Structure 1
Amino acid sequence: MLILGIDPGYAIVGIGVIEYTGNHFRPLEYNAITTDASMITSLRLRKIKEEINDYLEKYQPDAVAIEELFFNNNAKTAIAVAQARGVLVAETAAREIPIFEYTPLQIKQAITGYGRAEKAQIQQMVKMLLNLNAIPRPDDAADALAVAICHAHSAKINDELGTNRL
């Protein structure tokens, strides 16, 4: 199964592509889509749209997994990230690729076995699970890989129960 993991953002969108066969992970690519703060909103969203389409075209994943948004206080940031996430979801849906969402708690639980794990613990486990020489950078790419791994662990249950599907 080929999985494209997404850590949604407005300035930085984390991207992680893995292949999951049997019980084996193989990282194919991890990177980030970045937009410049000096760009107007519509151009930032267009850049995200174009670049996610490049990844979807290149890898043609079996599934896309995206982190669910969670914000405490900054409504302006939350709205911008939600707009970017909407673009990511819409472009995936337009290609009829199944898309699944996971909460930060679910991702932490799937990666470390502990839902309150710290970012450094998650990054270390991503490095280990994917047999990488170093922790993936930028952090957003490591987070996207974690989302993809979470989906790999959850895919069979999701298929049977129809859960987490957008």
Structure 2
Amino acid sequence: MRLIGLDPGLRHTGWGIIETDGNRLSFVASGVVSPKADWALADRLKALHDALMQILEHHAPHDAAVEETFLNKNPSSTLKLGHARGVVLLAPALYGIPVSEYSAKSVKQAVVGTGAATKDQIGMMVRTLLPGCNPKSEDAADALAVAICHGHRAGTQQHWAQNISTGRGRA
């Protein structure tokens, strides 16, 4: 199954594509969408939307996963991040694929093993779990981590569903 992980931001939105086959993960692509900071908010959101739709069309993922927003101390920054997050949630929905959301703590636990992991630890584990992967930014590494988290969860849910359908999941 092909998955896209998304780490929303108005200045930089990270994206990462992985393939899953059972518990095997493989790197496909990653990058960052960075609308020009001096553009009007509506133009920045449109640029983010258009770039994400091109990425979805090019890579054709089956599922999307988005990191949930945490609250900033600055209400204006939180509101702007919310606008970007709305576009990031909308693009895969418009493309016709399911969208799951994960907290930053859940992503860190799935990738590093602790919810208090640092950006450096996340980047190191992403490179370890996805050989051949070398994300160009923390935003791209974070997006790949979101995809890895979703891949682990989706694989577990698929395994449970198979066991229940075959009667092996009953107590």
The alignment's TM-score, normalised by the length of structure 1, stands at: 0.91
The residue type paired with residue 103 of structure 1 is S
Give the Cα separation in 2 of the matches to 1:19 and 1:133. Answer: 13
The residue type paired with residue 153 of structure 2 is S
Give the Cα separation in 2 of the matches to 1:17 and 1:43. Answer: 25
Residue in 2 that maps onto 1:141: 140
Give the Cα separation in 2 of the matches to 1:118 and 1:94. Answer: 33
Give the Cα separation in 1 of the matches to 2:155 and 2:58. Answer: 25
Residue in 1 that maps onto 2:169: none
In the TM superposition, residue 7 of structure 1 has moved relative to its aligned partner by: 0.4
Does the alignment pair 1:153 with 2:152?
yes
Does the alignment pair 1:52 with 2:52?
yes
Give the Cα separation in 1 of the matches to 2:92 and 2:74. Answer: 27
1:97-123 CA distance string (max 9 Å, x none): 000000011000000111111111111
The residue type paired with residue 10 of structure 2 is Y
Residue in 2 that maps onto 1:118: 118
The residue type paired with residue 71 of structure 1 is L
The residue type paired with residue 39 of structure 2 is M
The residue type paired with residue 144 of structure 1 is A
- SS of the residue aligned with 2:6? strand
The alignment's TM-score, normalised by the length of structure 2, stands at: 0.88
Moved over 6 A (4+): none
Bigger-Rg structure (1/2): 2
Does the alignment pair 1:82 with 2:82?
yes
* Aligned partners of 2:122 and 2:145 also within 8 Å: yes
- Structure 1: state its 5+ residue gaps: 162-166
Instruction: Number of aligned residue pairs: give it.
Output: 160
Residue in 2 that maps onto 1:23: 23
In the TM superposition, residue 132 of structure 1 has moved relative to its aligned partner by: 2.9
Give the Cα separation in 2 of the matches to 1:71 and 1:150. Answer: 21
Does the alignment pair 1:7 with 2:7?
yes
User: Could you tell me the percent identity over the aligned residues?
Assistant: 38
The residue type paired with residue 147 of structure 1 is V
* Aligned partners of 2:27 and 2:133 also within 8 Å: no
Give the Cα separation in 2 of the matches to 1:157 and 1:25. Answer: 13
The residue type paired with residue 141 of structure 1 is A
